[in-house]
Amino acid sequence: MMHGHFITFEGGDGCGKSTQVGMLEQRLKLAGKTTVLTREPGGTQRAETIRSLLLDGKARDMGKFAETLLFSLAREDHIEKLIAPALAKGDWVICDRFIDSTRAYQGAGGGIDPDLINALERVVVGPYRPEITIILDVSPEEGMERARLRMKELGEEVPDRFESEEIAFHHRLREGFLDIARNEPGRCVVVDGMQPVGEIHQLIWEHVCQRVGA
């Protein structure tokens, strides 16, 4: 059923994921692999529509439970239309955020019952669990500062729905990601996001090669 490889990137806002996702994709391409680069929430038309509702804060008034369901709804479409077919073809799928963002942002950060999150994963994700998950770790203070600088560069005026949460939320988030890594050491690796970009990439590349023999 799955002949490809499924790699996800996780971490708090401003952890440097987007840069690393792009660098890993380029490296895999140079090695002759067929890659699919995607992100959550998003990746398909329907999921991108749901993304806008979630990130511009329109869904916020419906509450955290509804937001959790919306992330899952977007994920279901993304898996069915993009991730599953690509893996069946033997592609390398690299996804910027996936299930661990729901566990950390809605669960550890937002207080949604982990039993509900597990049940949603069972129904929505089923066998499509990532083979490797890279968690980029930076302190919440550093992450928020980087997110602020990025906003300035892009000329954006308002932070998105989750960037605007208070610092305590971002601390719970970081602990949430580190807990996931402790509980699933076979799938997850934590990489210190404070190192130079090239060194982070090299560590990620070595880890991927070691895990799948690329």
- Does 105 bind ligand TYD (CB under 6 A)? Our answer is yes
Nearer to ligand TYD, 90 or 114 (CB): 114
Q: Which of 77, 101, 108, 170 binds ligand TYD (CB under 6 A)?
A: 101
71 binds ligand TYD (CB under 6 A): yes
CA distance 56 to 208: 34
**Closest to ligand TYD by CB, 18 or 210:** 18
Which one of 11-19, 125-133, 183-191, 199-207 is the stretch in contact with ligand TYD (CB under 6 A)? Answer: 11-19
Please give the residues from 175 up to 214 whose contact with ligand TYD meets the rule CB under 6 A. Answer: none
Stretch touching ligand TYD by CB under 6 A, among 33-41, 58-66, 130-138, 184-192: 33-41
18 secondary structure, DSSP code: H
- Check residue 66 for interaction with ligand TYD (CB under 6 A): no
| Closest by CA position to 12, among listed 119, 105, 87 | 105
With b meaning 16 or more CB within 10 Å and e meaning fewer, what string describes 131-153? bbbbbbbbebeebbebbeeebee
Q: What is the dihedral of CA 26, 30, 34, 37, to 10 degrees?
A: 0
We find the least distance from the C-beta atom of residue 165 to ligand TYD, in angstroms, to be 9
Q: How far apart are CA 17 and CA 136, in angstroms?
A: 7
Q: How far is the CB of 144 from ligand TYD (least distance, A)?
A: 11
User: How far is residue 55 from each of residues 163, 184, 206, 213, measured CA to CA in Å?
Assistant: 9, 28, 34, 37
Residues of this chain that bind ligand TYD (CB under 6 A) = 13, 17-18, 39-41, 55, 71, 96-97, 101-102, 105-106, 160, 162
